[in-house]
Structure 1
Amino acid sequence: MYRTTKRIFLSNKGFTLLEALFQFIVFMLLANIFIMFVLWLNQMNKTLMTNENVAWELFVQDVQQLFTNIREITVKDEYGQVEIAYVDSLERKQINRTGDVIRLQTNDKGYVPLLIGIRKVQFHLQDEFLTIIVEFQDGEVRERTFFVQTTNK
């Protein structure tokens, strides 16, 4: 009887409990590695989205700095251009969209890109509040309302 049992253990037919446990452990390790990869990929996507948030906040800061010592502000077209005239200067600045860039021009000359990678932009001026609505290439929509106080001298 001892020889029969020994022959069964030495034969390569079927799985033993030890082999099944080894395969289960390997499967669990691979599953953990896959889960860690998915979590890492999700973190990388959040990091990339953060860069877009930084670009938006920098744009907002740049635009806010333009709204000091203003004599007059006009929106020429809801989808087109904002023009700013300053109190102590003949300088006129325009914020407009060209292609996928919101740009700043001074006296219709040159341009400084303020925000890149947009699909469309809308400007709304109501009383002393200017609202800028931007849709990015990925479909995300951002909106900011600025208080613009004009000075009459």
Structure 2
Amino acid sequence: MRFNFLLKENKESGYTLIEGILQLSVLMMFSQIFAITVGWLHKMEENVANPTEIEWYLFLQDVETYLNNVEAIMIQSEELGIRFRKNGEEFDIELYENLIRKQKNRLGHEQMLLNVKSILTTLEGNSLNFGVEFMNGIKKEHTFYVTFHSE
């Protein structure tokens, strides 16, 4: 009678090595997807939440609207920036202290881009290259295509 429990057939199934390997592979797959997603979200947050990036793209869009149908354009040697004539009026986009400003007929002072350390502008044909270094060390560069007014 004592040995009766030893003779009973064990109907419970155990945890097999194959089941463990499958569960471990599924866990590793999901952990890789999670790591890639977290990295992507961090990069997107940097680009979207960074005020320098937002201000730079708004500046580019603003300047782009001014460089269509200009009558003449030149690089300023005294003030770092550009001067162009459009619809009979002169506009300056130049570095002033630590910002880039726009002036109309050398009057007024419209801030376009803040916290700027230096700018570099070059003009080759219809291509205007605009390079900016911000106070935080970030450097940005963009090439605009200038269209001239034809009569």
TM norm. shorter chain > 0.5: yes
Over the matched positions of the two proteins, sequence identity in percent amounts to 25
Letter in 2 for 1:132: F
Unaligned regions of 5+ residues in structure 1, if any?
A: 1-41
Report the residue type matching 1:66 in the other structure: Y
| Separation of aligned partners in 1, 2:78 and 2:118 | 11
Shift of residue 49, structure 1, vs aligned partner: 5.7
TM-score, normalising length: structure 2: 0.66
Asked if 1:84 corresponds to 2:84, the answer is: yes
Q: Is the 8 A contact 1:124 1:131 kept in 2?
A: yes
SS at match of 1:70: coil
What's the TM-score once normalised by structure 1's chain length? 0.65
Choose 46-55 or 62-71, whichever is displaced more.
46-55
* Equivalent position of 1:102 in the other structure: 100
8 A contact 2:74–2:82 mirrored in 1: yes
- Structure 2 residue ranges without an equivalent (≥5): 1-41
Question: Separation in 1 of the partners of 2:127 and 2:54?
Answer: 23
Q: Shift of the alpha carbon at 1:120?
A: 0.3
The one-letter amino acid of 1:84's match is F
Partner of 2:46: 46
Query: Which residue of structure 2 aligns with residue 151 of structure 1?
Result: 149
Task: Kindly report the root-mean-square deviation, in angstroms, between the aligned alpha carbons of the 2 structures.
Answer: 2.3
Equivalent residue for 2:132, pick from 131, 134, 146: 134
* Partner SS state of residue 57, structure 2: helix
Give the total of aligned pairs.
110
| Partners of 2:130 and 2:142 within 8 A in 1 | yes
Task: Indicate the SS of the match to 2:148.
Answer: coil
